[in-house]
Amino acid sequence: MDWITIISTTVKAAIGVETVWYALAAIGINIHFGYTGLLNFGQSAFLAVAGYGLAVTVTVLGLPFWIGIGVGLLAAVLLAVVLGIPTLRLRADYLAIVTIAAAEIVRLVFRSVAFKDVFGGSDGRRGFSDGFYALNPFPEGEYGFGWLLFGERTLWVLVVGWILVGISCAIVFLLMKSPWGRVLKAIREDEDAVRSLGKNVFSYKMQSLILGGVIGCLGGFIYGLAYASVQPDIFGTETTFFAYTIVILGGAARVFGPVVGSAIFWVLLVLVNGVLSGAVESGIITFMDSTQVGPFRFLLVGLGLILLLVFRPQGIFGDKREIAIDAR
Amino acid sequence: MNGVKIVVTTESGQPVQEVTSDAKGTWEVPVEKAGKYKVTLDVSTLPPNLQVRGGSNTRTPTVYEGNPASVLFALQPKTAAGAEPEQSGGGGSAFWERAAQLTFEGLNLGLIIALAALGLSLIYGTTGLTNFAHGELVTLGALLAYAFNTGIGLHLIPAALIAVILAGGLGYAQDRFFWGQLRRRGTGIIAAMIVSIGVAIFLRYLFLILFGGQSEAFAQYNAQPGIQVGPISAAPKNFVAMGIELLVLIVVGVALLRTRTGKAARAVADNPAPAASSGINVDRVIRIIWTVGGAIAALAGIMLGLSQNLKFTMGQDILLLIFAGVTLGGLGTAFGALVGSIIVGLFIQVSTLWVPPELKSVGALAVLIIVLLFRPQGILGRRERIG
């Protein structure tokens, strides 16, 4: 087995593009689920409208990159408002069903043949990232040391991505220490009590949904820019579920929980993939072939999610008293 | 029209297949991928006194994944040169024929959804679990039947029977060894919901590993010539399948209304605590519901596999439609799930009269959201606090 490649891809995964955009999606979910107790299963839709907002603005309308970012952010805010008005008064399980349904509607519309001229059907859109890479301060070349090398484009995406993760974490940290954040946590614990204190619970929930959605939608930008394309099926329900796994793995209602969770999640996925593929190729494992390694690691994700919830719902860093999973 | 040659090619002109229409004038060409195809009718094989209405003998239908596209060549007697071809006034009746056909297909889909939704709704009512893995129970039934059907070589009917029984057993085992244990540990309903997502992901990828990513069909009944009943044309298997689905739904419905266990199940679904205090063994009732729910979900999967194709994501793909049916009827009510599912099925198919087929599920999901907005307890549900 080629251990050097396995280790280098694993180390790269810890800070890689997947880790960044899943971390951003998970930070958003952490605001919804971890702090406010909102079971938003439609997070992938926020990533999708942001990615497509950017892509369609630049490719179809021919407007500059920054306007595309603005349109994407605006689309995420709009989605949060549209999604929130009917659903935020609902109980947790209804909220979960409605948000997942809304996310599927968004995905089906993006991949439909009827809107192929705008959204590009199931192939999605590409060719909108030039404006972003034109800002790249790194000259062409490989950066890093030893086998830990990144091209200048990847490095630029990673730098911007991690800056966004850092800013998001700082925002979450400051907000959750503020009175506003304490109201959110109080809503998670008992929204009737909060209502009886004269707080407008609906308005706080809506603000939480918008904030988490906007932070999550940054993940959609990072995905679109890193791969220079967006496809509808990337933003399916499984993306949301993996982001939930990440939040629970890292520890819900913890500032760095989603970031650490995302890094661990992708390190494990890449490591298992590398080790198993290597073992299959060198004939150590004979009961699987190389096409089954991919599904097998996602099977492990499912198993891991079950075991986490059953035996350690607070994840790695969480506090069991702060998890909104026994509510109602 | 019998014996007319039809040539199907891809948009770029790659030949796919040549067929000759049968005695009823119908023909069918299976295509591998969704996309645009070019269908050409060979005019020289037409009887000399007929021509294609409109003059053009090619059509370019767009085929969507999982949906057959129909191509019609309207024929008319050759008119004398220069004479204006008579415009047909049959547009209205064609619309109603299509509406009838789609209503039939919608009923078929609705019954399948109802089978799956019944179990989901009862499980929700009795345990409070929103089971995101219910779609995988649907897939499980279809794949088990497929395994017995093509793996061991049994005819589909015994294979389906064994699969349904086995799935019922697995449903029992799932509650006995997994969900029941979680309830005993006092796992909250939100935790259980997320656990069920884990179960769904686990099972889905297990199916992918064991079954593969391709689409398959059962060994029997996969290509039946259609029969015409009134305005509806469908393969005989669809009529039989609908009969079985109706029968099972009626049997389960009667059992819920008349038998001791059924009454106990409804009592537990209503409110577990008083049910337990009136001497009902709640755990036993829940276990029976899991067993029956697993079995009829498996039946739904087999019927779905019969009318579409088998795929490891087939259950996941209809999960939200099941949720839509259950919510529309009222979460936790048995008969609400039936009514809601049939409405969802009808709505999905009939809406394709106006919306593109690939967007038909969007309408159903939008209805789900609108229902929750105005009547969150569903059609047959009771008003209660859901906010």
pLDDT in the model for residue B52: 59
Check if B249 contacts A (Cβ < 8 Å): no
CATH of domain A3-322: 1.10.3470
Query: Rounded mean pLDDT of chain A?
Result: 89
| Band of pLDDT at residue A93, cut at 50, 70 and 90 | confident
Closest by CA to A161, choosing from A12, A9, A18, is A18
| Band of pLDDT at residue A68, cut at 50, 70 and 90 | very high
| Band of pLDDT at residue A150, cut at 50, 70 and 90 | confident
Q: What is the pLDDT of residues B124-152, one digit of tens each?
A: 888 888 899 999 999 999 999 999 988 88
pLDDT in the model for residue A205: 94
| Band of pLDDT at residue B62, cut at 50, 70 and 90 | low
Q: What is the pLDDT of residues B265-307, one digit of tens each?
A: 888 877 778 888 888 888 899 999 999 999 999 999 999 998 8
Which fold does the domain B98-374 belong to in CATH? Answer: ABC transporter involved in vitamin B12 uptake, BtuC (1.10.3470)
Distances (CA, A) of B304 to B46, B105, B140, B158, B308: 38, 12, 12, 17, 6
8 A C-beta contact, residue A305 and residue B198:
yes
* Closest Cα in chain B to A192: B387
Dmax (CA) of chain B? 87
Q: What is the pLDDT of residues B311-351, one digit of tens each?
A: 898 988 889 899 888 888 877 677 788 888 999 999 888 88
Domain boundaries, chain B: 5-78, 98-374
Which residue among A39, A90, A309 places its CB closest to the CB of B195?
A: A309
The DSSP call for residue B87 is P
8 A C-beta contact, residue B352 and residue B168:
no
Cβ-defined contact of A301 to B201 (cutoff 8 Å): yes
Q: Please tell me the distance from the alpha carbon of residue A95 to that of residue A88, in angstroms, as a whole number.
A: 7
Q: Please tell me the distance from the alpha carbon of residue B381 to that of residue B377, in angstroms, as a whole number.
A: 5
CA–CA min distance B306, chain A (Å): 25
Q: Please tell me the distance from the alpha carbon of residue A133 to that of residue B104, in angstroms, as a whole number.
A: 54
Check if A91 contacts B (Cβ < 8 Å): yes
* Closest Cα in chain A to B317: A104
8 A C-beta contact, residue A250 and residue A26:
yes
pLDDT in the model for residue B247: 92
Cβ-defined contact of B205 to A295 (cutoff 8 Å): yes
Average pLDDT of the residues in B378-384: 63
Q: For helices A237-250 and A290-311, give the axis angle rounded to 10 degrees.
A: 50
Check if B62 contacts A (Cβ < 8 Å): yes
pLDDT in the model for residue B234: 77
pLDDT at B195 over 60: yes
- Substitution target in B60, B195, B203 with the highest count of A β-carbons within 10 Å is B195
pLDDT in the model for residue B74: 55
| Band of pLDDT at residue B90, cut at 50, 70 and 90 | very low
Check if B208 contacts A (Cβ < 8 Å): yes
Amino acid residing at B173: A
Rg (chain B; Cα; Å): 24
Instruction: Look at chain A and count its residues.
Output: 328
pLDDT in the model for residue B42: 60
Chain A hits for B372, CB-CB cut-off 8 Å, are: 86-87, 90, 94, 98
What ipTM does the predicted assembly reach?
Answer: 0.90
- Cβ burial B268-299 (10 Å sphere, 16+ → b, else e): bbeebeebeeeebebeebbbbbbbbbbbbbbb
DSSP A267-288: HHHHHHHHHHHHHHHTTS--SS
pTM, two decimal places: 0.83
Domain boundaries, chain A: 3-322
Amino acid residing at A64: P
Q: Please tell me the distance from the alpha carbon of residue B27 to that of residue B19, in angstroms, as a whole number.
A: 7
Q: Please tell me the distance from the alpha carbon of residue A63 to that of residue A130, in angstroms, as a whole number.
A: 12
Q: What is the pLDDT of residues B5-59, one digit of tens each?
A: 666 665 555 555 656 555 445 555 656 555 556 566 665 556 555 555 555 556 6
Average pLDDT of the residues in A18-34: 95
Give the alpha-carbon dihedral of A219, A223, A229, A233, to 10 degrees. Answer: -80
Closest by CA to A252, choosing from A65, A33, A19, A10, is A33
8 A C-beta contact, residue B325 and residue B340:
yes
